[in-house]
Structure 1
Amino acid sequence: MAAPGAQQLLTRLAATERHRLAIAVVCGTLAGAMTWGQMLLFAWLVSALVVNSQSLQSLTSLFVLWLLILPLRGLLSYVQESVSQQASLAIRQRLRGELLSHLAALGPVRLASYHSASLAHQLVEQVEALDGYFARFRVQMWLSVLLPMGVLIITLSLDWLAALFLFLSAPMIPLFMSLVGMGAERLNRDQFAAVARLSGHFIDRVRSLTTLQLFGQTASAKQSVHLASDGYRIRSMRTLRLAFLSSAVLEFFASVAIAVVAIYIGFGLLGYIDYGPSDQLTLFSGLLILLLAPEFFQPLRSLAQHYHDRAAALGAADSLTKLLDEAPPPNRETGDQATPAVSPSEGLLSLKNATVTHPGRGRVLGPLTLKLQAGETVVLTGPSGSGKSTLLQLLAGFIDAGEGQRHCAADLRFAWMDQRPLLIQGTLADNLRLAAPEASDAVLLEALEKAHLGKLIRQLPEGINSAISERGVGLSGGQAQRLALARVFLSQAPLVLLDEPTASLDEATEQAVMSALKALQQEGRSLVIATHHPALMALADRRWHIDQGQFSERESAAEAQHDDT
């Protein structure tokens, strides 16, 4: 069974496009009514020709009317399909925007527990899996009630016994659909989970391809991918097998029900049945009932065909609901709850008795009270694993204070840089414009000069339009760090948080990074630098020290160097 949250998500999304979906239902109902009208005209024409012996010329106007209904039916069906597709597209765009906003609100720390391939699969494939539900099933669900009800009313006015046959056979299809749907929904949910695992498995092997080649493990990696994809194939075929089997059984029930009505009408017209209204059957009423019987089951059969769209949507919505239900840090929510504003006397950013608690580990940081002034440079020191990165994440708002408060200006912007800066596949300019999308080439080159990367760029044949691969393949570690520093210059953020910016760099690159950090100081930026490096400590106005989650403050940078020595 689907989680209640999955159905609630689908209902909430459908409510946002209820007007378009309602138009699609009305158009589908009118198209069905046009079909009934054509059948009524056809039965009347046959009865007039055979029973009343009327000439074809006298019935020409009815033939013309019958032909005119055809394009009108087609137009209504086209509008139904078009409007429902537009509603589905709008819903998926809205949901994808909601997911992206939610991921941004969660921040990088909470997203670290998700594989990037799994998130990509959710944003693309699982959102697309909702298309069939909104474009077809949701509308067909209403049509499967309205159209059979209309056919039943018409049949009841002609012959109540034939209407009774249709009424008694109708529940067979929904009953079987619900039984099949339980298994289909579970299979679709398992299939989505398998695809997410397969995506992560494949991308991990691609990212580690060089390491696998060095250790001679490419054959085993290929075999593992083959086994994972083969498992997905088996699940896919199991889902298709269930879909074909259920369709065959539903067609069988509908065919048997139509055959029963046809037998009743045939024997009634021949006079072999004298029960109820059978002796009142005429060629017109019998033929019309026989023509309407397939139309009674057609909406239900169409609903059964689209029922697997519902199962796929519930399986996808179940996974998406779990992602949306994860609460972001309070200060990163987009709702009413916001970070309390800081007064000028409290500096640029401050923490008051703040703590950080992780599930299963208890309190890992705090309580701590600190204040960061505008234009101030603070160095953050402490043994590895003491909580320096956690404090930086708390200052950035990536994680929330379990107790205490975090105060900052409502519009405070910050720049973040760690040992492995995010670089995307594209040009150097593409990577720089992540921080300043509208920046001109001249502004980009100026930022590169400040980051001491201008000389390298001038040596490249294509300059800032030179391409790099994902994760900065094509650049050294120091060049990647300086490219990230150029983005910091472009961001114009008043607060810059740096986590070990000079780790694993050679002496020349380290000096270039140091010069860039001094340039940031001269621009009046506030810097918080987590480091063990004495040269970086010399840049600081103050020192914050973390040891086993406990916070202390030193005013003197020289004292900081002495303590670490």
Structure 2
Amino acid sequence: MDKSLEKQLAQWLRNQKGACGAYLKLSVLLGVLNGALLVVQAWLLATVLHGVIIEYLPRSAFVVHIGLFALLIALRALVAFGREKVSFEAGRRLRVQVREAVLSKLTRLGPAFINGKPAGAWASIVLEQIEDLQDFYARYLPQMSLAGFIPLIILCCAFPLNWAAGLILLITAPLIPLFMILVGMGAADANRRNFSALQQLSGHFMDRLKALPTLKLFHRAAAEQQAIAKASEAFRERTMAVLRLAFLSSAVLEFFGAVSIAVLAVYFGFSYLGELNFGHYGTPISLFTGMFILIMAPEFYQPLRDLGSHYHAKAQAIGAAEALMELLNAPEPLAVGHTAVPAGELTIRAHELKVLSMDGVTLAGPLSFTIAPQQKIALVGPSGAGKTSLLNVLLGFLPYEGSLLVNGIELNSLDIHQWRQHLGWLGQNPQLFHGSIADNLRLGQSELTDTELWHWLEQARVDDFVKAQADGLQHAIGEFGAGLSVGQAQRLSLARTLAKQAPLMLLDEPSASLDSQNEQWVLDALWNALQDRGCLMITHRLDQLDRVDSVWVMEQGTLVQQGSVASLSQTEGLFQRMLAELPLQVSLDEIADADIVTGGVQ
């Protein structure tokens, strides 16, 4: 990983620690308190040993010391427990805030952005990668402070007793963080590759799982099984690379910690044997001094060893932060506006409108058009002409250049959430969630009563299906509409859309995946509901355009024709060529006659 990028990610992680609140500081405070109690505990134990072994004092003289020592053991255990609880709470608060920020960002970016990655990849970011921030805030950041405070406290106690011992501690202390850094240099990059492999595996697996019936139908299950096995093996290898680094780091730190303590023990051993005579302040080294410093020596290196063992948490967090920072810093399709949508019927005017992708590439345009109140418009054209991009920009899911006015106010200055309340949307792939039918119908409209729900179910011609269920409106639906036919799912989605009673409906081929009977039911329900509303509908059914006021024909991102069915069918151009290619070879005169009979607007 590039060093400048790694520094950016580390800084981004530190900038988020405000979400932990006071719990992060409280965790450090409890850790310092634990270190201070350890010093007192070491002093009590060294005093008892020196008195019993050197001064031949009776054990009864140290009853208070032993009692305090036992009390300190319990107190340290309590402080350690409290620190674990506080540290976990700090990480939990951070994860909650980051997850809320990620979900809010995805909501603002919209489906045009989200469809750029498989659903499994987003699940990996929202779940695994955010979870992997826990140890960085709960353990690594507090331990960084403790790795400075606790050794400093011990040095302040050691130097007044023996400067040589203090010097040994001071000189050997940097060895542990130095080798920690050397061993962990590649850890962040290894974790980044591991997260990348996890995203690919999650996305690949979830997409194949959803398409399992289709794969079996076309005898592709075995081939996809091999592909998943290959992706799993790549993920296993990268996971093992991360674990190798983590275990190597722990082994190196334990080795240098043990060597440093051994040097200190050798110094005191030779001093007691009379081979070394330096380090003291004019008086011989007592057993108390040696025992006190040797008891504290492992605890002097312990915070540094703990920091090393938690170093992989930093590398893990940096690997996770790359995708999170990229997502949270992604440019949003529309600026955050606060202007209320003007009251009254909606009139939309576009002039030299260019629809852009999230990275600034022109998807459609320049376009100039007007959508009048209650006007019904059919949007037709070959695949890739830019029809869906036009709907996405009206929904606020894509950025644009030029002018797009809603009742005279630029769209990017409107309150986008309020604007979407004025729109009803229905696509060809309905999204239903795990829950009851009522829960799905009330999505975003919790105020709807059961009576109103039955009304819209009847409008969508799906009330008979719901009445046939034992639980009625409480009938459970599986994830992605499991347990429903395509037609039933589409009509339930239609009922949900109609219940919104939006003045403008945006429809993206709502009948494309239906059989002829369900298609007729959906279209009939739509036209009945659209009598007093506007509509912009992408459709491939050119033989069913007799009820629209106007037809817009798109090709290569531009509107090449606009007009009624009757006028366009008599005009040489793309629309006429598309009519000639209809599978049923519908007569142009029949379509024109149907338009005249139903009173189509010219």
Match of 1:550?
558
Aligned positions of 1:266-415 closer than 5 A: 266-277=269-280, 280-331=284-335, 337-338=336-337, 347-358=346-357, 363-406=362-405, 407-408=410-411, 410=415, 411-412=418-419, 413=421, 414-415=423-424
**1:517 and 2:516 matched:** no
Cα drift, residue 318 of structure 1: 1.4
| Percent identical | 38
3-state SS of the aligned residue for 1:475?
Answer: coil
3-state SS of the aligned residue for 1:76?
Answer: helix
Match of 1:539 among 547, 550, 561: 547
User: Does the Cα contact within 8 Å between 1:95 and 1:127 map onto a contact in 2?
Assistant: yes
Match of 2:84?
81
User: Does the Cα contact within 8 Å between 1:356 and 1:365 map onto a contact in 2?
Assistant: yes
Quickly say closer, same or farther: Cα 1:38–1:344, change in 2 above 3 A: closer
Cα drift, residue 153 of structure 1: 1.3
Match of 1:446?
455
Cα drift, residue 3 of structure 1: 3.1
3-state SS of the aligned residue for 2:506?
Answer: strand
User: Does the Cα contact within 8 Å between 2:430 and 2:490 map onto a contact in 1?
Assistant: yes
Write the letter of the residue equivalent to 1:545: V
The whole-number CA distance in structure 1 between the counterparts of 2:556 and 2:238 is 48
Write the letter of the residue equivalent to 1:287: M
User: Does the Cα contact within 8 Å between 1:355 and 1:366 map onto a contact in 2?
Assistant: yes
Write the letter of the residue equivalent to 2:222: A
Give the TM-score, by structure 2 length.
0.86
Aligned positions of 1:40-119 closer than 5 A: 40-119=43-122
Identify the range of structure 1 (132-141 vs 98-107) with the bigger mean alpha-carbon deviation: 132-141
Cα drift, residue 454 of structure 1: 1.3
Cα drift, residue 446 of structure 1: 1.9
Cα drift, residue 441 of structure 1: 3.6
Which whole-Å deviations, capped at 9, do the CAs of 1:245-282 have from their partners, x for residues lacking one? 22111111111110110111111122211234286311
**1:419 and 2:428 matched:** yes
The whole-number CA distance in structure 1 between the counterparts of 2:143 and 2:318 is 17
Quickly say closer, same or farther: Cα 1:528–1:26, change in 2 above 3 A: same
Write the letter of the residue equivalent to 1:527: C
Quickly say closer, same or farther: Cα 1:361–1:310, change in 2 above 3 A: closer
Cα drift, residue 323 of structure 1: 1.7
Match of 1:487?
496
The whole-number CA distance in structure 1 between the counterparts of 2:556 and 2:215 is 37
Match of 2:152?
149
Aligned length: 559
The whole-number CA distance in structure 1 between the counterparts of 2:439 and 2:345 is 38
Identify the range of structure 1 (418-427 vs 317-326) with the bigger mean alpha-carbon deviation: 418-427
The whole-number CA distance in structure 1 between the counterparts of 2:486 and 2:425 is 17
3-state SS of the aligned residue for 1:402?
Answer: strand
User: Does the Cα contact within 8 Å between 2:118 and 2:204 map onto a contact in 1?
Assistant: no
Quickly say closer, same or farther: Cα 1:222–1:552, change in 2 above 3 A: closer
Cα drift, residue 429 of structure 1: 3.3
Aligned positions of 1:172-183 closer than 5 A: 172-183=175-186
Match of 1:208 among 208, 211, 223: 211
Quickly say closer, same or farther: Cα 1:88–1:438, change in 2 above 3 A: farther
Which whole-Å deviations, capped at 9, do the CAs of 1:205-251 have from their partners, x for residues lacking one? 32232233233333333233223222322222222222222211111
3-state SS of the aligned residue for 2:548?
Answer: coil
User: Does the Cα contact within 8 Å between 2:392 and 2:398 map onto a contact in 1?
Assistant: yes
User: Does the Cα contact within 8 Å between 1:545 and 1:553 map onto a contact in 2?
Assistant: yes
Match of 2:134?
131
User: Does the Cα contact within 8 Å between 1:5 and 1:321 map onto a contact in 2?
Assistant: no
Match of 1:433?
442
Match of 1:250?
253
Match of 2:263?
260
The whole-number CA distance in structure 2 between the counterparts of 1:554 and 1:231 is 53
The whole-number CA distance in structure 2 between the counterparts of 1:212 and 1:532 is 27
Identify the range of structure 1 (173-182 vs 12-21) with the bigger mean alpha-carbon deviation: 12-21
The whole-number CA distance in structure 2 between the counterparts of 1:141 and 1:199 is 34
Match of 1:334?
none
Write the letter of the residue equivalent to 2:534: S
The whole-number CA distance in structure 1 between the counterparts of 2:358 and 2:242 is 38
Cα drift, residue 149 of structure 1: 0.9
Quickly say closer, same or farther: Cα 1:367–1:320, change in 2 above 3 A: same
Quickly say closer, same or farther: Cα 1:351–1:8, change in 2 above 3 A: farther
Cα drift, residue 340 of structure 1: 6.2
Cα drift, residue 438 of structure 1: 4.8
Give the TM-score, by structure 1 length.
0.92
Which whole-Å deviations, capped at 9, do the CAs of 1:272-330 have from their partners, x for residues lacking one? 11234286311111111111111110111111111111111111111211222221102
Quickly say closer, same or farther: Cα 1:69–1:227, change in 2 above 3 A: same
Write the letter of the residue equivalent to 1:428: I
Cα drift, residue 529 of structure 1: 1.2
Quickly say closer, same or farther: Cα 1:560–1:402, change in 2 above 3 A: same
Cα drift, residue 36 of structure 1: 0.5
Cα drift, residue 528 of structure 1: 1.3
Identify the range of structure 1 (72-81 vs 547-556) with the bigger mean alpha-carbon deviation: 547-556
Cα drift, residue 159 of structure 1: 0.8
The whole-number CA distance in structure 2 between the counterparts of 1:63 and 1:69 is 10
Match of 1:37 among 21, 37, 40: 40
Report the aligned-residue RMSD: 2.6
Cα drift, residue 42 of structure 1: 1.1
- Which structure is higher in RCO with an 8 Å CA cutoff and minimum separation 6? 1
Cα drift, residue 200 of structure 1: 1.8
Cα drift, residue 167 of structure 1: 0.9
Write the letter of the residue equivalent to 2:106: L
3-state SS of the aligned residue for 1:367?
Answer: strand
The whole-number CA distance in structure 1 between the counterparts of 2:359 and 2:53 is 85
3-state SS of the aligned residue for 2:369?
Answer: strand
User: Does the Cα contact within 8 Å between 1:537 and 1:561 map onto a contact in 2?
Assistant: no
The whole-number CA distance in structure 2 between the counterparts of 1:85 and 1:360 is 38
3-state SS of the aligned residue for 1:280?
Answer: coil
User: Does the Cα contact within 8 Å between 1:416 and 1:497 map onto a contact in 2?
Assistant: yes
Cα drift, residue 344 of structure 1: 6.5
Gaps of 5+ in 2: 576-587, 589-602
Aligned positions of 1:191-230 closer than 5 A: 191-230=194-233
Cα drift, residue 471 of structure 1: 3.8
